[in-house]
Amino acid sequence: MKRFEGKRIVHTGGASGIGRATVLRLLEEGATVFTVDVSEAGLAETTSAASGLQGKLVTHPADLASEEQIVTAAEAAVEALGSVDVLINGAGAMRPKAAGASERAAFQWLLDVNYLAPVTLIRELLPHIPDGDGVVVNVTSTSATKAHPGMTGYAASKGALLAYSVSLAAELAPRRIRVVPVSPGGISTPLSASVSATEGIDFEWFSRIHPLWGEMGKPRDIAAAIAFAASSDGAFLNGVELRVDGGAHT
């Protein structure tokens, strides 16, 4: 499929995991992708993996916890692309910890990266998204609506992004700009692999919410869902959570 030929896409989180898989999927379908991530090494690996694909890739290192760096990244994206057909907020951060042992600063950092970064990037890029067929995809999480012990900070930040997305869809409806929150379940990524047993958390809980066939999803599974939501195939999808979890939360 070449659903994104001629499309200009701004994306965050392209250095690894779901983000990298999404970038590669979009490039395969002909997009020009401007991706932002804090990891320069990871962005270089993504660039190498993208060699030979049809689309064009531009990378921009930035710390998404910094409003100043987000604004600079948005300016660079507009300079590189001219206008933006699709914005995908795919970057995310996770720091599992028991609620009683969580410092305020840790919660604030999760909110900065997982919620306020997308909010800021949307604010900066909305004037450059054309009316009629623009799309914003925000990668949220099943943690936003389902119980995941030890993930209270992460859940709160993703829950904020989910709620924001639904209201934003209504706000942008007069411009016919679609907003779709995509919520992955358990996916095998470097981020999920970094989660280990944390004091005070019953990690046996997570064995109860595995996909129905028992295996975690792959980054490409979420990339495919994001590509669908962002493409003309998802033209009637707006303001509703697209949950992709292998039936883990049925």
For residue 154, indicate whether it is catalytic.
yes
The pLDDT tens digits for 80-92 are 999 999 999 999 9
The pLDDT tens digits for 30-76 are 999 999 999 999 999 999 999 999 999 999 999 999 999 999 999 99
Which tops the pLDDT comparison, 187 or 38? 38
pLDDT at 201: 67
Using CB atoms within 10 A of its CB, is residue 187 exposed (0-12), middle (13-18) or buried (19+)?
Answer: buried
- The full length of the chain comes to 250
Identity at 234, one-letter amino acid code: G
Let me know: does 55 contact 24? Beta carbons within 8 Å.
no
Query: Which strands form 242-244's sheet, in the order they lie side by side?
Result: 56-61, 32-37, 8-12, 86-89, 135-139, 178-184, 242-244
Among 154, 158, 180, 226, the active-site one is: 154
